[in-house]
Amino acid sequence: MTHLLDNIVWHSLVSSHARFAVGQGGARRFAPGFSPIIGFENPLAPDWAALTEFCQTGESFYTAGWSDSVPAGWNLEMASTMFQLVWRGEVSLDALVGDDAICLGPEHAESALELARLTHPGPFGVRTLELGQYFGYFEGKQLIAMAGERLHAAPFREISGVCTHPTQQGKGWARRLMTRLIRLQVSRGEIPFLHVMRENHLARGLYARMGFAEHRESVVRVISKLA
């Protein structure tokens, strides 16, 4: 039986995040301004025709779960694999860790986008903060670390956008932010999960120590629409 997490992008885009999605038939994408991600109802037979009119020339998208040849009209920019990890609740969470973080809102969108462009935590847009609750730490007016929520199909909610400014790494910011998010999600009765690229060994080690276990490894690609 297919697990909900095996096609979580599609399930998120047609349920909790349907108001932020565009598309038709068996294909959806987050609307422009949000994280550039595509989901297909059947990743083994992607419905490209249903998506074409909703994408602009030169737009790049992340898409996972299919490895067939790239269709005409699209260009393959990157291909790799990523792990999907689920929190198993085996690590106790300190009650106050992360409570001093700032709740990020629309007024922080440009700062969040700047940090994401610097650190490359994954697909991120100027409106990504609207997809869930985001928290961050500032040094003066500079956002130095953030983490938040993206994909959501009950009971699973993704922790995403975890990143730290290069000058601030190794100080425990990511762990503090993730602890607060896990505690928040568990209080809602949700199951935290996340994605991490295969080559990101440091992050995978941190997530394992925090109680995340591998659910699956899948192909991930970045594609762009040609003229």
Query: Which tens digits make up the pLDDT trace of 154-197?
Result: 999 999 999 999 999 999 999 999 999 999 999 999 999 999 99
Q: Which of 153, 158, 169, 170 is nearest to 134 (CA)?
A: 158
Res. 92 pLDDT band, cuts 50 70 90 = low
Query: Which tens digits make up the pLDDT trace of 24-47?
Result: 999 999 999 999 999 999 999 999
**What are 23's two structure tokens?**
């598309």
Q: Which of 65, 37, 44, 49 is nearest to 223 (CA)?
A: 37
> What gap in Å lies between CA 18 and CA 64, rounded to an integer?
19
DSSP 8-class letter at 48: G
pLDDT at 2: 62
pLDDT at 144: 98
Whether 98 has a pLDDT exceeding 60, the answer reads: yes
Question: Which sequence spans correspond to the domains of the chain?
Answer: 4-81+220-225, 85-217
CATH no. of 4-81+220-225: 3.40.630.30
Q: Which of 163, 197, 141, 195 is nearest to 6 (CA)?
A: 195
Q: Which CATH number fits domain 85-217: 3.40.50.300, 1.10.443.10, 3.20.130.10, 3.40.630.30?
A: 3.40.630.30
For the segment 87-93, the average pLDDT, to the nearest whole number, is: 79
Identical fold for domains 4-81+220-225 and 85-217, yes or no, is: yes
What SS3 class is residue 5?
helix
pLDDT at 227: 78
Q: What is the pTM of this model?
A: 0.94
Query: E-strand spans in 97-170?
Result: 102-104, 134-139, 142-153, 156-164
> What gap in Å lies between CA 180 and CA 13, rounded to an integer?
25
